[in-house]
Amino acid sequence: MTPSVSKAGVLDRGIASLRGIGPAKAELLAKELQIFSLGDLVYSYPFRYVDRTQFYRIIDLLPDQGNVQIRGKLVTLMTKGENRKKRLVGRLRDESGAALELVWFRGVNYLDRTFKIGEEYVVYGTVQEFNGKLNITHPEMELAARAVAEEAATFEPVYASTEKLNKRGLDTRGRRKLIRSVIDQLQPADLPDMLPEYLREELRLISHYDAVRSIHLPASQAELDAAVRRLKFEELFLLQLRLLQLKVSREAQVAGYAFGQIGTHFNRFYQEFLPFSLTGAQKRVLREIRQDLGRGIQMNRLLQGDVGSGKTMVGLMSMLMALDNGFQACMMAPTEILAYQHYESIREYLNGMDLRVAFLSGNVKGKARRQILEDLAAGEIDILLGTHALIEPPVVFKNLGLAIIDEQHRFGVKQRAKLWKKNSPYPPHVLVMTATPIPRTLAMTAYGDLDVSVIDELPPGRTPIKTVHFTEHRRERVFGRIREEIAKGRQAYVVYPLIEENETLDLLALEAAYDEMLVRFPRPDYQISVVHGKMKPADKDFEMARFKNGETQIMMATTVIEVGVNVPNATIMVIVHTERFGLSQLHQLRGRVGRGAEESFCILLSSVKLSKEGRQRINTMVATTDGFKIAEADLKLRGPGMIDGTQQSGVLQMRIADLAQDGRILSVARDKAKDILADDPKLEKPPHRRLGAHLERNLKAIRGWSLIS
């Protein structure tokens, strides 16, 4: 939400009103960054800051160090490779005597002409390791003399940019000049404060005007911290206020079907077909869902459960409640292979129950598709499983009573809103399932207007996954362990990290690793599947299906298998360069094994040199398989701080707050929002009128996704 500004104020002016911004540049800013007005420009905050006084020595760098600033001389620069593998490679040497490789895949010819061997540069970027060498891909480069002359400020803001913007002088440096020129024109009246004065005083928050100035032009770390704290609180407070209003409004206005009975389908399945005893947590969650379904108000519930906790069974039994009351049910998954996996398992569970279960995806075509659509509209299909094809216009249910969304963070806002509208006169009840571990307190605030259920107990009898850590010099032992498992008839995953925002380098790394694997696991004794993000979905599904069917013994992949196939025969997972993964991601990957009766292993293969945080992440993974403990540790390790411009998926896009990191601020914001609404539900009292007016103006920003997110 863009905070409101005074009518016809400075911030309402078009971006083309700025000196130096003609029609072409204005169009580019609108297209690339959705910046149309001066307000849009001012509210596009920096995503990080460079402390120009802080330099690292190359000799001290570590593979997972993150963003660093170094100063040194460019000693070599050459173009390598051809076509899509063409890249510019330079070497920077600093006073420590060590050298660092710099790599560019875009703008190779232009950069080759721009950079000069022998010149001293200030370089900023993310350190990573490739083929045993440290490098920075697409670093920010600036002549050292120019950096010293032009940057007097200690904290230099860095703004999100694109190659097109950089070429037109609208890079970070250009945007800083534009923003400064706007801020110099602003008065406090142009940035009115929506927070009541008593709340600002209680929480010791600076004014909105001061915060916006300081977020772009901080004079000190303390000033920057105060601005960040104010703007994060404001953003989260406004979000929570609106979510709480919507929850009350929805419960008052959005009627739903009342499922009055638990009947034949549920009881017969529970007594005759349930293949195992439910855990206490599953029973508790089913009671919560049953209570929701009987209220006559649309259910919007988030079901959170660790990998293997039995969410699918809870979802199935919830669908049987819908069937018992004369309704249809559906479950939507983000990928075809995952949706079909649900279809197979649910069809197997219900075998013998005389219920019709169908599957629909974009690949179901012709006569088969027409028949499913006809039967669905006629009410002859009880349960429909599928992908986003379920929400396309041709799909019409006779009476959809319950919609389940699996792994909701992989669906866009508009997709979920379409599903919500699939019924008349009432919307279907909605159950959102996720295996992504989120601390309970954070889940309850992040999903503001949803009720939250947690399956915090794993079924008994599961063999725990044994997690071990090896460093690179024990690589041969790791491959030997894979051979041992394959000799027993088992299968293995070998996972490689994505190199952020660089699919080309990612692919090169995977190709090099594949060549190495072919030497260690030669044909015809071994067959290897390869899956990566640049593959077409059909090719990806084909390779995953080959692995699932046992035609290949090894699945080499990037993190695209984080949510994917269920292969009970896969008993070993090797995660290469473990230090590059986040804790939550590591836990999700580990959940791909340990799905059968055999003992399973997860091997974390890392560099020898690890940062303190990298070692803590690995130690946590070795110590526990509890997703919620891992989520808590992840939150503590990352802590509060400036976001890296990452966009939250499945929730309102944040300008500065990060729901994964700002749990404390979010909790305070929610509590204060509750207090204000308890005292003044319609925000009509004088201290709250500006707040109420702002929320009404920005209602559309939230209404669409909050119905089902």
Q: Which residue has the tokens 């179901």?
A: 364
320 and 424 belong to one structural domain: yes
Alpha-carbon gap, residue 230 to 214, rounded angstroms: 11
User: Comparing C-alpha atoms, which of 582, 706, 588, 584 is closest to residue 644?
Assistant: 582
pLDDT at 144: 84
**Cβ(709)–Cβ(413) under 8 Å?**
yes
Q: Which residue has the tokens 């002859």?
A: 380
Q: If you average pLDDT over residues 641-651, what whole number do you get?
A: 28
User: Comparing C-alpha atoms, which of 658, 604, 660 is closest to residue 632?
Assistant: 660
pLDDT at 559: 66
Q: Are strands 133-137 and 328-332 parallel, antiparallel or unpaired?
A: unpaired
Find the range with the poorest average confidence among 115-124, 354-363, 435-444. Answer: 435-444
* Residue at 155 is within a domain: no
**Cβ(28)–Cβ(175) under 8 Å?**
no
Give 3-state DSSP helix, strand, coil % of the chain, rounded to 5: 45, 20, 35
HEC sequence for 94-127: CCCCCEEEEEECCCHHHHHHHCCCCCEEEEEEEE
Confidence of residue 640 (pLDDT cuts 50, 70, 90): very low
pLDDT at 443: 58
Q: Are strands 66-80 and 87-93 parallel, antiparallel or unpaired?
A: antiparallel
Burial class (CB in 10 A: 0-12, 13-18, 19+), 323: buried
pLDDT at 334: 81
Bond into 425 cis (ω within 30): yes
User: Comparing C-alpha atoms, which of 408, 431, 415, 416 is closest to residue 322?
Assistant: 431
Total domain count for the chain? 3
Find the range with the poorest average confidence among 3-12, 330-339, 428-437. Answer: 3-12
- Residue 708 in this model has a pLDDT that exceeds 60: no
453 and 482 belong to one structural domain: no
Report the SS3 class of residue 528: strand
**Cβ(569)–Cβ(490) under 8 Å?**
yes
**Cβ(45)–Cβ(102) under 8 Å?**
no
Which residues fall within 8 angstroms of residue 208, CB to CB, at 6 or more apart? 3, 191, 192, 193, 194, 195, 230, 234
Last residue of a domain, one of 624, 649, 681: 624
Q: Which residue has the tokens 């292993």?
A: 601
Q: What does the pLDDT look like over 32-87, one tens digit per residue?
A: 888 999 999 999 999 888 777 788 999 999 887 778 889 999 999 999 988 878 89
Element (H, E) at 404: strand 400-406
* Residue at 269 is within a domain: yes
- Residue 521 in this model has a pLDDT that exceeds 60: yes
Q: What does the pLDDT look like over 235-290, one tens digit per residue?
A: 999 988 888 887 777 666 677 889 988 999 999 999 999 998 999 999 999 999 99
pLDDT at 7: 44
User: Comparing C-alpha atoms, which of 621, 509, 497, 501 is closest to residue 559?
Assistant: 497
* Residue at 73 is within a domain: yes
Average pLDDT along the chain? 84
* Residue at 378 is within a domain: no
502 and 576 belong to one structural domain: yes
For residue 90, give the CATH number of its domain.
2.40.50.140
Q: If you average pLDDT over residues 375-379, what whole number do you get?
A: 95
309 and 451 belong to one structural domain: yes
Alpha-carbon gap, residue 321 to 266, rounded angstroms: 6
Alpha-carbon gap, residue 670 to 649, rounded angstroms: 20
Q: What does the pLDDT look like over 277-319, one tens digit per residue?
A: 999 999 999 999 999 999 988 888 889 888 778 899 999 999 9
Q: What is the DSSP letter of 37?
A: B
Last residue of a domain, one of 624, 655, 687: 624
pLDDT at 49: 84
Find the range with the poorest average confidence among 28-32, 124-128, 145-149, 312-316. Answer: 145-149
pLDDT at 343: 94
- Residue 25 in this model has a pLDDT that exceeds 90: yes
507 and 478 belong to one structural domain: yes
Bond into 188 cis (ω within 30): no
Which residues fall within 8 angstroms of residue 339, CB to CB, at 6 or more apart? 331, 332, 333, 359, 361, 385, 386, 387
**Cβ(316)–Cβ(346) under 8 Å?**
yes
* Residue at 386 is within a domain: no
Q: If you average pLDDT over residues 519-538, what whole number do you get?
A: 87
How many Cβ atoms are within 10 Å of 696's Cβ, its own excluded?
10
pLDDT at 415: 57
Number of residues in the chain: 709
Q: Which residue has the tokens 């002549």?
A: 143
Which residues fall within 8 angstroms of residue 484, CB to CB, at 6 or more apart? none
Q: What does the pLDDT look like over 357-373, one tens digit per residue?
A: 999 998 889 999 999 99
564 and 607 belong to one structural domain: yes
Find the range with the poorest average confidence among 363-367, 610-614, 671-675. Answer: 610-614
* Residue at 18 is within a domain: no
522 and 447 belong to one structural domain: no
Q: If you average pLDDT over residues 424-443, what whole number do you get?
A: 75
Most trustworthy range by pLDDT among 116-120, 220-224, 337-341, 455-459: 116-120
Q: Are strands 133-137 and 120-130 parallel, antiparallel or unpaired?
A: antiparallel
68 and 208 belong to one structural domain: no
pLDDT at 581: 86
* Residue at 343 is within a domain: no
**Cβ(216)–Cβ(183) under 8 Å?**
yes
Which residues fall within 8 angstroms of residue 629, CB to CB, at 6 or more apart? 620
Alpha-carbon gap, residue 133 to 8, rounded angstroms: 55
The pair of three-digit structure tokens given for residue 507, joined into one six-digit string: 């692919």
User: Domain of 104?
Assistant: 53-150
Q: What is the DSSP letter of 453?
A: E
* Residue at 655 is within a domain: yes
- Residue 653 in this model has a pLDDT that exceeds 90: no
pLDDT at 338: 84
Percent of the chain with pLDDT over 90: 46
For residue 510, give the CATH number of its domain.
3.40.50.300
Alpha-carbon gap, residue 246 to 271, rounded angstroms: 40
Confidence of residue 696 (pLDDT cuts 50, 70, 90): confident
Most trustworthy range by pLDDT among 438-442, 606-610, 696-700: 606-610
Output 532 or 196, whichever has higher pLDDT.
196
Last residue of a domain, one of 624, 651, 685: 624
Which residues fall within 8 angstroms of residue 174, CB to CB, at 6 or more apart? 165
Which residues fall within 8 angstroms of residue 348, CB to CB, at 6 or more apart? none
481 and 588 belong to one structural domain: yes
- Residue 413 in this model has a pLDDT that exceeds 60: no
572 and 517 belong to one structural domain: yes
pLDDT at 202: 97
Q: If you average pLDDT over residues 333-354, what whole number do you get?
A: 90
Find the range with the poorest average confidence among 13-22, 179-188, 460-469, 472-481. Answer: 460-469
The pair of three-digit structure tokens given for residue 531, joined into one six-digit string: 């899956």
pLDDT at 417: 56
Strand partners, 91: 76, 101
- Residue 645 in this model has a pLDDT that exceeds 50: no
Q: Which residue has the tokens 């709480």?
A: 244
Q: What does the pLDDT look like over 572-589, one tens digit per residue?
A: 999 999 988 888 889 888
131 and 260 belong to one structural domain: no
526 and 591 belong to one structural domain: yes
